Amino acid sequence: MPTAAKLFAAIAFAVMAWFASQAVVPLFPEGTDLGKFAYVNATIGALSGWLVMGRLAGAGYGAAVTSGLRTTAVFLFYALLVHSIVKMLDQAVRMRYSDTMEALAGVFELVGIYGMMVFTAPQVMGILLIGGVLAAWTSEFAAQRWN
């Protein structure tokens, strides 16, 4: 059922994902075609906010901190997975893999590479952590105001 908390969580986490995407772009090698990278991440952020944070809102601002960090972790997991699968499929079309198991292993290798890029960049981690908490507080405010 749609609620104000879910709507605010979806918008806030989409914005957080957008800014995190813009912060991670300079970490890719020059000339990398990222396509709709920020849009995909914003969509994953909105879905994470709606489905995870929106459901957890209403328990107080203290609980919202942990809920926001949980939602950020869910967003990061799915964003890394989606982008790794897309990259693996692109490499599979170019015949980089000899069989299916090598391609599946390639997904986890790419998750590791992309994950290290995100976790070792302080500006990206700052946006994810602080943005996740602020987005959670926004959702919590909406849950208390319109519930």
Question: How many CA atoms does the CB half-sphere of 16 hold within 13 Å?
Answer: 34
Chain Cα centroid distance, residue 130: 14
- The per-residue pLDDT string of the chain (147 residues; one tens digit each, 9 = 90 and over) reads 899 999 999 999 999 999 999 999 999 888 888 889 999 999 999 999 999 999 999 899 999 999 999 999 999 999 999 999 999 999 999 888 888 899 999 999 999 999 999 999 999 999 999 999 999 999 999 999 987
Chain Cα centroid distance, residue 65: 17
Contact 21, 41 (CB under 8 A): yes
Q: Can you read off the two tokens belonging to residue 62?
A: 């203290």
Chain Cα centroid distance, residue 10: 12
Q: Enumerate the domain spans of the chain.
A: 4-145
Residue that is written with structure tokens 């198991």 in the block: 101
